[in-house]
Amino acid sequence: MDVAALRKRILRELERPGAVMPTSADRRAAGDTARQQFSRLLDTTIVPLLKQTADILKAEGALCRLHTPSDHAQLAFDRSAEDFIEIMLDTATPPRVIGRSSVRRKGGTLVEDRIIGVGREIDEISDEDVVSYLLPELRKIVTAKT
């Protein structure tokens, strides 16, 4: 690509509304708001769903445990320390809720991060968004051959 054309496109993008870099005070305020929203989401949606999931999986013979430190939730499988699903907050700009899954396979460990509720504010994420993330990740872990 021609350097002059690339330069024009970059400058045009930077001049768009909303493209102004936020100040550090703005980033801190956004991070604080995101942490409060995520804490509510964790308490009202994520942890209850993961508790129900753990109970269902235990009844089906898949041994797992739910870990709920203050800043994220993790569903860990007893088969391997490398088999887990966790949901956490990423406070980068813009803040997002991230789901991370880790599955041990014969060739190594596959770790994958996905945004939950793409395009939504943290306080707009629903239980359906969480379940939509959770189900395919559970399939990967529960059906994985060690």
DSSP string, 56-112: HHHHTT--EEEE--TTEEEEEETT-TT-EEEEEEE-SSSPEEEEEEEEEETTEEEEE
Report pLDDT digits (tens) over 85-99: 999 999 887 899 999
Domain boundaries, the chain: 3-142
Mean confidence (pLDDT) of the chain = 89
- Token pair listed for 24: 């550090």
pTM to 2 decimal places = 0.81
With tokens 């009202």, the residue in question is: 44
Q: pLDDT tens digit string along 12-56?
A: 877 776 656 667 787 888 889 999 999 999 999 999 999 999 999
Note the pLDDT of residue 97: 97
